[in-house]
Amino acid sequence: MSGHTLDPEGPARLLAQPDVVRVLAALAVPGEETRLVGGCVRDALLGRTGDDIDLATTLQPDAVIAFAARSMMRFVPTGIEHGTVTLLAGRTAFEVTTLREDIETDGRHAVVRFGRDFPRDAERRDFTLNALSLDPDGRLHDTTGGVADLRAGRVRFIGDARTRIREDALRILRFFRFHARYGIGRPDEPGFAACIQARDALDGLSRERVRAEFLKLLQAPRACEGLADLSESGLLARLIGGIGDLGRFARCVANTPGQASEIDRLAALAVFSEADVERLRLALRLSNTEQTALLGYARAVTALRSRARIDGPELRRLAATHTVAGLSLAARTIRGEGRPDWSPDAAADLNDLDAGLFAKPSFPIAGADLIALGVRPGPEIGRRLADARRLWLEQGCPEGDAARDALLRHATM
């Protein structure tokens, strides 16, 4: 299987970006050195550009702030205790971190001291393809074999995989995410084995950190393969607290127009009923909005799976009683499972639903309409409206003045 073709001009284009030029000029101090590091260099070699640009420097954090201020550049001491200052140039935020060496780690946090050794700083990073650095003169520095691994599509821990994971257990998830984004073929065997061996360390991570990495994995270009690897390792069930349906996830990726959101993909993977939503909320610290979206999907899936066949009127009934987003996603995700069968007109309406051309049916009468026709306000209004709504749904949610008049007659009899 062929690997990635690297772009020899990518690093030069990165260095030529006006905001990059400005920041490097501000930190150009005799006797000190600042380089672009990590993901921005990796992606430049792949011919890609990104918004996240990190720099490593021999300058101490207070010196970074001083030179930024001298160049009239805004700064934020985002992680000053760890040597990180964020510089704001134009529309780009640059994280500038003083070279570091780990002194002590517990799998979640590291005690570090500042250093001046770029190769040693590279050795404390996670994967070889993230340890590349680029100096202002355009020289690419690779002390861990990152270029060869990037070209081969191989995500490999720097040094001993077990040691890197002990330093930060989140690297277990990052291994699978980066392989799903940059890897080709099977995951690196020593890294894969080390992740499985260290699986208990995942329990010590904050749910917020797990959430961020896992949702990024769901959006990776090879997310289907990445989830299959996670499932094979036994880690997927540990992360989401239940089973995952890789078939539904693959159909979600393939069948949804555009790119489904990370929450859509989570729904397809791990939501089978409403009961799953609360479990995922706790496991991944979902917001109320995300929880509501998953509930809409869960209810739509349950409704669709309970029907043997869906025709045009039935689709209108479903659209009237479920969220459009949940119904559309559920329909695309369970396609191919044999149930329900879709009539040609319902399938056409579903395409219109996805395209925003299918208006959600709206119950055409309200309590004020009944009062205007002489029905006294009170509980009787609600009873009559509910009865009329049942009739409206049975009839396939008809629209127009004639349908509205018929419902009003029914409700005032």
Q: Using CA of residue 382, residue 385, residue 391, residue 392, what is the dihedral sign?
A: negative
Indicate whether 32 and 117 sit together in one domain.
Answer: yes
Mean pLDDT of 295-319: 94
Statement: residue 111 has pLDDT above 70: no
Cβ atoms 294, 280 nearer than 8 A: yes
- The number of CA neighbours under 13 Å toward the Cβ of 93 is 9
Does 339 lie in the same domain as 406? no
What is the average pLDDT value for the chain, to the nearest integer?
A: 92
User: How much of the chain exceeds pLDDT 90, in percent?
Assistant: 81
Structure tokens at 385: 């409206």
Higher-confidence position of 132 and 399: 132
Torsion, CA 383, CA 388, CA 391, CA 392, rounded to 10: -140
Query: Do 59 and 197 fall within a single domain?
Result: no
Is residue 235 located within the same domain as residue 246? no
Point out the domain boundary residue: 89, 123, 154. Answer: 154
Q: What is the mean pLDDT of residues 46-73?
A: 92
Same domain, 19 and 128: yes
User: Are 126 and 88 found together in one domain?
Assistant: yes
Query: What are the structure tokens assigned to 73, written together?
Result: 């550049």
pLDDT band at 103 (very low <50, low <70, confident <90, very high): low
Q: Decide which of 239, 267, 283 is a domain's last residue.
A: 239
Q: By residue range, what is the domain housing residue 163?
A: 159-239
pLDDT category at 108 given cuts 50, 70, 90 is low
Considering the domain architecture, whether residues 271 and 314 belong to the same structural domain is answered as: yes
pLDDT at 144: 97
pLDDT in tens, 343-398: 998 888 888 877 777 788 999 999 999 999 999 999 999 999 999 999 999 999 99
Q: Are residue 51 and residue 133 in the same domain, yes or no? A: yes
Average pLDDT of 107-117? 71
**What confidence category does residue 275 fall into, taking pLDDT thresholds of 50, 70 and 90?**
very high
CB 236 within 8 A of CB 280: no
**One domain for residues 42 and 120:** yes
Q: What is the mean predicted confidence (pLDDT) over 118-136?
A: 96
Does 164 lie in the same domain as 75? no
pLDDT for position 258: 66
Q: How many domains does the chain have?
A: 4
- What pLDDT sits at residue 109? 55
* pLDDT at residue 105, as a whole number: 57
Q: 329 falls in which pLDDT band (50, 70, 90)?
A: very high
Residue 340 reports pLDDT greater than 90? yes
